[in-house]
Structure 1
């Protein structure tokens, strides 16, 4: 009897030990699963957001889907307005002198040949005297040449005398031509005053004036700048990776970065065959429409789109794409939550919520209000994509949203 009692106590102790061990294991497993579920829910909430029914109506969320759109593909480039070298003149003088008069103001338009200023130099008087003296000698020597030639042909005078007169005539003609060339280079006539005119070689607008009345103008020093803006064009910096898509004749649209968002058109007419600088960019030259170029000045900074071609690509309205840091996202309605909500009763708190999930995308070109999209991760074919209200969803997601668990 005693042995039976001891055996019964042993069995009861074993049963209670097994029951306690089982309870501990069950508790640990439940905690682990709960912790895993909490971590899973926390991870999911980083790219999820939920709106209540009233919030959904207030925000005005609208859905759409990816469309195949014929978009104008572009290459973006930055650059400056500039004018060709032949349309810009830095004017100096070939002979030094004292500035007598300045006849123009900065910003005024001048025609080619317009006298901008005059400088005084007595050396030009000597040039005029040399020319006139040579002309007088030429007249005398020409008569003597004709006489000596006649006598030489009749063998009256030695031929040596005729050759001496011929040589002197050639020297005086050369001296007269040299003096005339000097005067013409200074835009002066063979008869006139000691005032040397400073003449504009092109038509355009007077830029900086670097002289003052009474000052001494030295040779080689720039006195005036004149710019013809009618031939204004762009110098755009295009990266090496985009060169294969650039060709002469392509159109561009550009805006002046510091002058509002008015779009101006142009056309590519030249592509450099060497790199411009250490940034590995190549200069692409584009002519600006004449009507738009008249109000531009050289050196304006521009942002341009080089139009490449039309292509059919998957696209969404541009408002459907939002930026978070250095990544871009769209929002789709979370179908997994819809299935979950259908299993709850009408009194469930989740039943009145609409859940959304952020999907990372890579945007492409934007044209006519649509932006090309490439999906980083696959989305269901029947996904309901938010095309209006995406910015509000991003703000809610960044602020913790209204998601409740």
Structure 2
């Protein structure tokens, strides 16, 4: 009886130990499976052959002197004093058009001539007033002599003087009207339309024989030598903007040609509902000659130079709305694949299998926050700290991203 109890006690202890061992193994297996599942989300493995074929290159963080920039969009424009919308002060029939669109004209060039009979009356008024002035001046001199000798009453002298002053005023007004119309007091009755600035003729809004209304724009002339940029900068960036800062901009519709400029003015009021402020920048004269007012540009305003941690820009890849770099992990594992020898066997015949081993190199995706990009390098800030001697992939990161997402995986 005593032996039976001892045997039962031994069986109970052995069973309990077996259950504990099985549970421990199962928990360990679950932990390993969970770890592997967690690793698979941000890790990718390449064979040594793939590593060589893709041309993966690694490097380390560098401290680079990069330009910190603020991005802004805007348009090319010219100052108001370098753009003229030319009209006429008096209507008339278009007699001649003497220029073509796109031609360069100098200040004072006659662009067209108008015909209006009212200017003939202006010339007649002026010439008549001048003739009366000559007569009244002689009469005034005569009356003054008589008045000084007390021959005629002084009242007659005053009347002559009043008439002389009226004619002088009438002559002056008629002459002023003619000069405003760029006409002489004698000569042709044609009204010349003259360019007030030097520049290129833009749109011509009249036709020969048509009636040109007063106040309506007939010609546009633009002087592109003072071309500048109007950039829209948002409120959050205004504190970093100052006159004298340099900018680099590209013409998005002109092959992304890069041009430089300098900020010379900042508006003190918001320009629209988007809470942006117009920032004005001069363009280097050598680059402005081929520009046209109204071109859309994308610009980088250079705030300052700063030494920041940076990587080659190809090292940073985007996955969804986040950015990553890849680091090479230290562990290299031996993987095995089954190699079937089916070549040369007919259907129904047996075939042998053997195992072939190869090394796998692991890479881990690390989230970063990119900053400014300049001279082929991008500023990076790591969300989590990485080892100081980490091997960061600087070439081939895009391939690793594709492999991690399933586009470049290999079987093993």
CA contact (8 A) 1:73 1:310 kept: yes
CA distance in 2, matches of 1:39, 1:401: 24
CA distance in 2, matches of 1:278, 1:137: 63
Instruction: Give the deviation of 1:275 after TM superposition.
Output: 1.0
Q: Counterpart of 1:150? A: 145
1:398 aligns with 2:405: yes
CA distance in 2, matches of 1:24, 1:349: 37
CA distance in 2, matches of 1:15, 1:80: 90
Q: Deviations over 1:64-85 (max 9, x none)?
A: 1111111122211111000011
One of 93, 96, 104 as aligned partner of 1:109: 104
Q: Counterpart of 2:379? A: 372
Greater helix share, structure number = 1
Runs of 5+ consecutive residues of structure 2 not aligned to the other structure:
337-354
Instruction: Give the deviation of 1:285 after TM superposition.
Output: 0.2
Instruction: Give the deviation of 1:332 after TM superposition.
Output: 0.5
One of 83, 94, 98 as aligned partner of 1:99: 94
Q: Deviations over 1:186-237 (max 9, x none)?
A: 1111112321111111111111111111111111111111111111000011
Q: Counterpart of 1:74? A: 69
CA contact (8 A) 1:97 1:218 kept: yes
Q: Deviations over 1:41-97 (max 9, x none)?
A: 222212111110011111111111111111122211111000011111111111111
TM-score for both structures, normalised by structure 1: 0.90
What secondary structure, in the 3-state scheme, does the structure 1 residue paired with 2:113 have? strand
TM-score for both structures, normalised by structure 2: 0.88
Q: Counterpart of 2:346? A: none
CA contact (8 A) 1:49 1:403 kept: no
What secondary structure, in the 3-state scheme, does the structure 2 residue paired with 1:190 have? coil
Q: Counterpart of 1:265? A: 260
What secondary structure, in the 3-state scheme, does the structure 2 residue paired with 1:274 have? coil
1:128 aligns with 2:123: yes
One of 47, 56, 65 as aligned partner of 1:61: 56
CA contact (8 A) 1:50 1:401 kept: no
CA contact (8 A) 1:113 1:201 kept: yes
CA distance in 2, matches of 1:11, 1:268: 97
CA distance in 2, matches of 1:228, 1:64: 52
Corresponding residue pairs, total: 394
CA distance in 2, matches of 1:14, 1:56: 57
What secondary structure, in the 3-state scheme, does the structure 2 residue paired with 1:273 have? coil
CA distance in 2, matches of 1:143, 1:27: 138
1:310 aligns with 2:305: yes
One of 347, 352, 361 as aligned partner of 1:354: 361
What secondary structure, in the 3-state scheme, does the structure 2 residue paired with 1:275 have? coil
What secondary structure, in the 3-state scheme, does the structure 1 residue paired with 2:303 have? strand
CA contact (8 A) 1:49 1:401 kept: no
What secondary structure, in the 3-state scheme, does the structure 1 residue paired with 2:380 have? strand
Q: Counterpart of 2:225? A: 230
Instruction: Give the deviation of 1:277 after TM superposition.
Output: 1.0
1:232–1:179: structure 2 CA closer, same or farther, 3 Å change rule? same
CA contact (8 A) 2:47 2:358 kept: no
What secondary structure, in the 3-state scheme, does the structure 1 residue paired with 2:267 have? strand
Q: Deviations over 1:117-157 (max 9, x none)?
A: 11111000000000000000011111111112222222222
CA contact (8 A) 1:51 1:353 kept: yes
Q: Deviations over 1:8-28 (max 9, x none)?
A: 599859957994x87677666
Q: Counterpart of 1:165? A: 160
CA contact (8 A) 2:399 2:408 kept: no
1:204 aligns with 2:199: yes
What secondary structure, in the 3-state scheme, does the structure 1 residue paired with 2:184 have? coil
1:8–1:288: structure 2 CA closer, same or farther, 3 Å change rule? same
1:350–1:68: structure 2 CA closer, same or farther, 3 Å change rule? farther
Q: Counterpart of 2:344? A: none
Runs of 4+ in structure 1 displaced over 3 angstroms? 7-19, 21-37, 348-351, 400-405
Q: Deviations over 1:303-349 (max 9, x none)?
A: 111112111111111221122222211110123x34xx49x9xxx98
One of 176, 188, 191 as aligned partner of 1:193: 188
1:385 aligns with 2:385: no
Deviates more, 1:107-116 or 1:319-328: 319-328
Q: Counterpart of 2:235? A: 240
Q: Counterpart of 1:184? A: 179
CA distance in 2, matches of 1:108, 1:268: 31
